[in-house]
Structure 1
Amino acid sequence: MDADPGEVTRVFVLPEAAGAGLGRRLLEIGISQARLGHSGPIRLEATINPVGFYQKCGFRSISRGLFSHGLGGDPIEIVHMELK
């Protein structure tokens, strides 16, 4: 988990830990950190798979885009999301 003011930048859980509440707890910590010194909505960019998880945690989709990591390969579809 990592966050900057106004943005949760990373939340990763190993597949074997999925479903145990760890992802939600990490996201809660990330949201708290992203709120430090920031009064607007909290944003994140999600790949397609975890969108439902973020929606259950109160985020809403605001747009879609593509992410290219600069290492070659096809761009990855992402969803821009925010929590008010």
Structure 2
Amino acid sequence: MMHRSKAHWGYDADFMAAARAVLQLSPLDFESERLVVFDDGVPQGLCKLGIEGEMAQVDKLFVAPEGMGRGVGRALMEWAIETARAAGAKRMEIEADPDAAPFYARMGAREIGRVPSEAIAGRTLPLMQIDLTDLARGGLRSI
């Protein structure tokens, strides 16, 4: 599903091959309480969250093409925000794909810089941050 989500944005075969290593989950990831899969009979999306002290990081957030525009990404972000807040995080960072940056901005993130891509040498990604203390509380739904 992560590969189909990334490929949806029109990346070529060379890019997808270079990104393959980053688009993996380990068996330990599936044992974590900080990985959630949005599933309505078929997996539609997933989010993996890291939390260290007051900082949370969206490590992975992918929505299957058939789930795009249907609230799957929003539900995953709401889960991430709620989970991070419950763990005491005050900020959340996201290394965003450039095509996903507008989505994260709608979720309350702002670009604070750029970071090197793990997969593609010379490519940089928007580094986005959400101040979890500024967002309106309530209205989050669990999945």
Assess same fold via TM > 0.5. yes
1:65 aligns with 2:115: yes
Q: 1:49 is matched with which residue?
A: 99
1:4 aligns with 2:4: no
Q: 1:22 is matched with which residue?
A: 72
Say which of 60, 80, 87 aligns to 1:37.
Answer: 87
Quick one: percent identity of the two aligned structures? 28
The alignment of Structure 1 onto Structure 2 pairs a total of residues equal to 81
SS of 1:38's equivalent in the other structure is coil
Name which one, 1 or 2, has greater alpha-carbon Rg.
2
Larger RCO: 1 or 2 (CA < 8 Å, sep 6+): 1
Give the conservation status (yes or no) of the 8 Å contact 1:47–1:76. Answer: no
SS of 1:26's equivalent in the other structure is helix
- Structure 2 residues not aligned, in runs of 5+: 1-46, 132-143
Please give the root-mean-square deviation of Cα atoms over the aligned residues, in Å: 1.6
